[in-house]
Amino acid sequence: MTNLDIQETGREGELLIRSCRVKINGNTIVTPTRTIGVSLSAATELQEAKRFIGNKFKPFGEVFVRIKLNDIDEYIIDAGKREKFNAKLSRRVGQLKDAGALPYVLLSILDNNGYPLNRLLPPNELEFIFNVLWGIPGNSIITTPLLGTLESPDEHGKLIEAFFKRQTDSIDRKNQPLMAIIPSSYYALNEPKLIEKYWECGVRIFGYNCENKKYGAYSIAIDSLHNLLSQLSKKSEEEYILNAINSKYKYGKANTSRINNLIGAGFGFDTYSPNHISPKFIVFSEKGDSPRRYVFNEKDYGFIDTKELNNMKNIDDLIDTNAFKNIDLSELNTLGDYQLKKLCTSHDIEKTIKEISNYSAYIENNELIKHLSSKAKIVAERAEIEGINRHQSKSTDEEWFSK
């Protein structure tokens, strides 16, 4: 029996906003929360976030790894390279666990040209993936790999069946829960059977691939997904949680930019994970000599250009972070871009962690939507949140579900 227990502890009216207590193999996560992301080459986010991990903030931890087919083949035949790869993974998983996060490994499978793989892996390569995921010490959740566009949703069903079979049949099996990655390109409104297949295989943690797009772009699909999961949940009397994979951090330009990933709770996401899709462009300054850098403002959920901070008044509450502790604002413009980017990243991580750490208390008091309504920069997003209701398309979803 998988060691997973999910208990809903609060919900706001008829909205998707809720709080849960998630227990996995002795570890407890209170949602809404966020995921701390690391890669094999960098652990910047973990270094900035670990001092805030504790009773009030307990995050998931994601070790994100891009791996090409020829890399997999090399690891299969070369024990030395395979051991080095596994050692790097183990180190990152261990760092997340030691910091107090609940880690999982997310493997993004690429073809040899560096693009997402648009087919299922052959048996020997899939076995290698199995061995990695089940063999890494401390890997708390077994996550299906992130793939490209497969031939049909049935292909994803075959993938989850293979993972479920490994979990139940392997002699050395471990009882970690499974997290199935739901590709947004496949979750059309006429494909509820894919979700049903996952549920039948014991999946109670779902990762929805947001593909670096704002949540509102998928509002209809997200609403339908919750409807289907809600019906399955009621039928089996078991809860589920939803993770926003590749969630877009912010959108908009310059002074119009506003936060996106932090408001995932409004769309029913229990946690959100970092975006791993590279931006298509970088906004440069008017002189074109360096990128513009912005810091998150929790007062309105927007962002402020660092070049404007020195001329602003009454900003003590804005810059009350560890990042700005020893910074003289008059010297901001003298910082190199690397230093400035690091400063903004550190500030934003601290601010967003402090914000989401209060969400569960807001929800239990039925006040999160009220809290979000006080944020001037996300007026349109508040309307989208309030417009999503999991009862809106109930009769239609029940018709699909019965197919």
Q: What is the pTM of this model?
A: 0.91
CA contacts within 13 A on the Cβ side of 371: 20
- The whole-number pLDDT of residue 194 equals 85
- The domain of 244 spans 4-278+389-396
pLDDT above 50 for 396: no
Q: Tell me whether residue 323 is in a domain.
A: no
- Interval 278-287: pLDDT, tens: 765 544 445 5
Mean pLDDT of 186-198: 74
CB 86 within 8 Å of CB 136: yes
**Where does the pLDDT of residue 184 fall: very low under 50, low under 70, confident under 90, or very high at 90 and above?**
confident
Tell me the CATH number at 41. 3.20.20.70
Percent of the chain beyond pLDDT 70? 90
pLDDT above 50 for 397: no
CB 273 within 8 Å of CB 283: no
**Where does the pLDDT of residue 229 fall: very low under 50, low under 70, confident under 90, or very high at 90 and above?**
very high
- The whole-number pLDDT of residue 138 equals 93
d(CA 66, CA 39): 9
Q: Tell me whether residue 65 is in a domain.
A: yes
- The DSSP 8-state label assigned to residue 318 in this structure reads T
Q: Tell me whether residue 15 is in a domain.
A: yes
Tokens of 201: 């295989």
d(CA 267, CA 302): 19
pLDDT above 80 for 392: no
pLDDT above 60 for 189: no
- The whole-number pLDDT of residue 393 equals 43
Q: What is the mean pLDDT of the chain?
A: 89
Q: Tell me whether residue 188 is in a domain.
A: yes
What b/e readout covers 44-75, taking b as 16+ CB neighbours within 10 angstroms?
Answer: ebbebbbebbeeebbbbbbbbbbbbbebbeeb
- The whole-number pLDDT of residue 280 equals 57
Rg (CA), the chain: 21
CA 181-169-102 angle, 5° bins:
45
**Where does the pLDDT of residue 311 fall: very low under 50, low under 70, confident under 90, or very high at 90 and above?**
confident
Residue carrying the six token digits 């708390």:
140
* Residue 242 CA to its chain's centroid (Å): 9
Q: What are the start-end ranges of the E strands in 12-139?
A: 18-24, 27-30, 33-39, 60-68, 102-110
Mean pLDDT of 188-198: 76
CB 215 within 8 Å of CB 268: no
Q: Tell me whether residue 319 is in a domain.
A: no
- Interval 104-113: pLDDT, tens: 999 999 999 9
Mean pLDDT of 8-34: 93
pLDDT above 50 for 274: yes
* Residue 316 CA to its chain's centroid (Å): 31
The more confident residue out of 39 and 184 is 39
- The whole-number pLDDT of residue 187 equals 63
pLDDT above 80 for 210: yes
- Interval 29-71: pLDDT, tens: 999 999 999 999 999 999 999 999 998 899 999 999 999 999 9
Percent of the chain beyond pLDDT 90? 67
Q: Tell me whether residue 233 is in a domain.
A: yes
Q: Tell me whether residue 317 is in a domain.
A: no
Q: Tell me whether residue 314 is in a domain.
A: no
- Interval 319-348: pLDDT, tens: 999 999 988 888 888 888 899 999 999 999
d(CA 270, CA 239): 12
**How many structural domains is the chain composed of?**
1
Given strand 4-11, what is the order of strands in its sheet?
A: 4-11, 18-24, 27-30
- The whole-number pLDDT of residue 150 equals 87
- The whole-number pLDDT of residue 192 equals 80
- The whole-number pLDDT of residue 127 equals 94
Kindly give, in sequence order, each residue whose CB lies less than 8 Å from that of residue 339, ignoring residues fewer than 6 positions away.
none
**Where do the H-state alpha helices sit in 201-293?**
219-236
- The whole-number pLDDT of residue 190 equals 54
The more confident residue out of 286 and 216 is 216
- The whole-number pLDDT of residue 25 equals 85
